[in-house]
Structure 1
Amino acid sequence: MSHAVARLRAARLARSEKPFIARGSRAVRCQACRLALSHCLCAWRPRVPAQSAMCLLMHDVEALKPSNTGWLIADVVADTSAFGWSRTAVEAELPALLSDPQWQPFLVFPGEYAAPERVVDAVRVTDGKRPLFVLLDATWTEARKMFRKSPYLDSLPVLGLQPEQLSRYRLRRSTRDDHLCTAEVAALCLELAGDQRAADALNAYLDVFSQHYLAAKAPRAVDLNDELHQHLQAFL
């Protein structure tokens, strides 16, 4: 199993003492895309190259949630790693990844929460390195806690994004429209790094994923020839 979030999900399920029951758990889901089989998304997974890499640091049950968009990032960006977050323990592979000389890691988080000298507003790499974006995949409250209580991230430059658009994510409630979901943040990072085609593919994939997810809940059929699917078709 090569999918980073799928591996993390399997490991999290293996150590669970009781089953995780997601909303809509009565639906028979595709194990590859997590959507109801009637609305499977597997045939619409984009195939695009990217110079950038992603590192998802995921709060406890995020990998188990069918609505999690970190899964979409791992679908689109080949070099995606995923780690479970714990306040008291760190997987050995995570510090090794962050110190690997082929990468220039950036911790993606609002700049006002970091010391000014750590904050950068552009993706600049040197010595032939490739950008590695570290994303805290959690609710906003959880992400702030992760930011404060992860000392192994304290040496990383903080990329403070300034999104111009409101979030399009409709699968979970948020008190603020300017809080982007993880896939939207990743797409902005790809764009800043010059991976425009991968950014466009991820945004198109998120739109179709959201459409399928909500249609499966209704339930209602999806028009596979509509504008969203036609847009995504260009990246298959």
Structure 2
Amino acid sequence: MTLPPHAVHQRYQYRKAISTRPYNARGKNLERCEACLLAQRYCTCDTRAQLQSEVSFLLVMYDDEVLKPSNSGRLIADLIPDTHAYIWDRTRTNRKLMALLESSEYQPYLVFPSEYAMPSQAVVPDVALKTRLASETKRPLFVLLDGSWREAIKMFNKSEYLHHLPMLSFAPDAAARYGLRKGSRDFQLGTAEVASLVLSAAAEPKNAASLSAWFSLFIESSLYSRSRKSPKDLAPLDSLKAAFLKTLK
């Protein structure tokens, strides 16, 4: 069964529609699936499934991030039903985004390194999140700044509405503890990897495992899409599809 388009799909279509010129990503001549942006031959859309989750996500995406085939933020929306996405604007704040942050239904948390917290900004360590959520009556809404690290810092610094949100911050050893890849700095993870950390900290380890497996499948499919692997041997791809489906049981 084909699942309906999600928030990131909608932002992608919008951003592409207003572009004055084609987005020339690597592999621009490749025939891609419009949903997952992988090569049509390695499309994973027929494997996608929605999870049952008690948490929500909000992706604040840097301008053309949504157009990038390498963007992993879309993977969160692939699996977590209540995922929202908006394109960041330095001078104009999206009214729907603000309404979401101010909604009585949600308790937003900005997921960001604590070293960048404003003086009056509350910081919630990852180890304390489960206890905090247990006392909350509102649904947690985890805000992720989706872009390069430089772009994420810019979005945070230029968006005062983020400065009063409680900040969920992971300890430097969190990536190693959850077995995820690390960048050149401990907190430089892909957006989907950060979401996996959030799900684990929010006491949804099964969903975290599903998202992590979905991310692994995405990476492998991307390698095939970019001709980094021989199309004659699809066993690694099939194995990762099976591993993802196993997490759903």
| TM surpasses 0.5 | yes
Tell me whether 1:191 sits opposite 2:210 in the alignment.
Answer: no
- 1:107–1:159 contact (8 Å) kept in structure 2: yes
Tell me whether 1:89 sits opposite 2:100 in the alignment.
Answer: no
Which of residues 7, 10, 16 is equivalent to 2:19? 16
SS at match of 1:18: coil
Q: What is the CA–CA distance in structure 2 between the aligned matches of 1:177 and 1:52, rounded to whole Å?
A: 24
TM-score, normalised via structure 2 length: 0.87
- 1:111–1:160 contact (8 Å) kept in structure 2: yes
Which residue type is aligned with residue 164 of structure 1? A
* 1:62 corresponds to: 65
SS at match of 1:56: strand
Q: CA deviation at 1:177?
A: 6.3
- 1:167–1:177 contact (8 Å) kept in structure 2: no
Q: CA deviation at 1:128?
A: 2.1
Change (3 A) 1:217 1:2: closer
* 2:152 corresponds to: 143
- In the alignment, structure 1 segments of 5+ residues that lack a partner are none
TM-score, normalised via structure 1 length: 0.91
SS at match of 2:30: coil
Instruction: Give the alignment of 1:2-41 within 5 angstroms.
Output: 2-41=5-44
Q: CA deviation at 1:20?
A: 0.8
* 1:215 corresponds to: 224
Which of residues 188, 193, 202 is equivalent to 2:211? 202
Which of residues 154, 175, 189 is equivalent to 1:164? 175
* 2:106 corresponds to: 103
Change (3 A) 1:106 1:177: closer
Q: What is the CA–CA distance in structure 2 between the aligned matches of 1:48 and 1:59, rounded to whole Å?
A: 26
- 1:52–1:195 contact (8 Å) kept in structure 2: no
Tell me whether 1:234 sits opposite 2:246 in the alignment.
Answer: yes
Q: CA deviation at 1:142?
A: 0.8
SS at match of 1:168: coil
Which residue type is aligned with residue 165 of structure 2? L
* 2:81 corresponds to: 78
Q: What is the CA–CA distance in structure 1 between the aligned matches of 2:200 and 2:184, rounded to whole Å?
A: 26
Q: What is the CA–CA distance in structure 1 between the aligned matches of 2:95 and 2:225, rounded to whole Å?
A: 39
1 or 2 for the larger relative contact order (CA 8 Å, sep ≥6)?
A: 1
Identity %: 43
Q: What is the CA–CA distance in structure 2 between the aligned matches of 1:9 and 1:63, rounded to whole Å?
A: 6
Q: What is the CA–CA distance in structure 1 between the aligned matches of 2:27 and 2:238, rounded to whole Å?
A: 26
- 1:46–1:201 contact (8 Å) kept in structure 2: no
Q: What is the CA–CA distance in structure 2 between the aligned matches of 1:229 and 1:131, rounded to whole Å?
A: 30
SS at match of 1:50: coil
Query: Comparing 154-163 with 112-121, which one deviates more in the overlay?
Result: 112-121
SS at match of 1:54: strand
Count the aligned residue pairs.
Answer: 231
Q: CA deviation at 1:45?
A: 1.3
Which of residues 35, 49, 52 is equivalent to 1:49? 52
* 1:120 corresponds to: 124
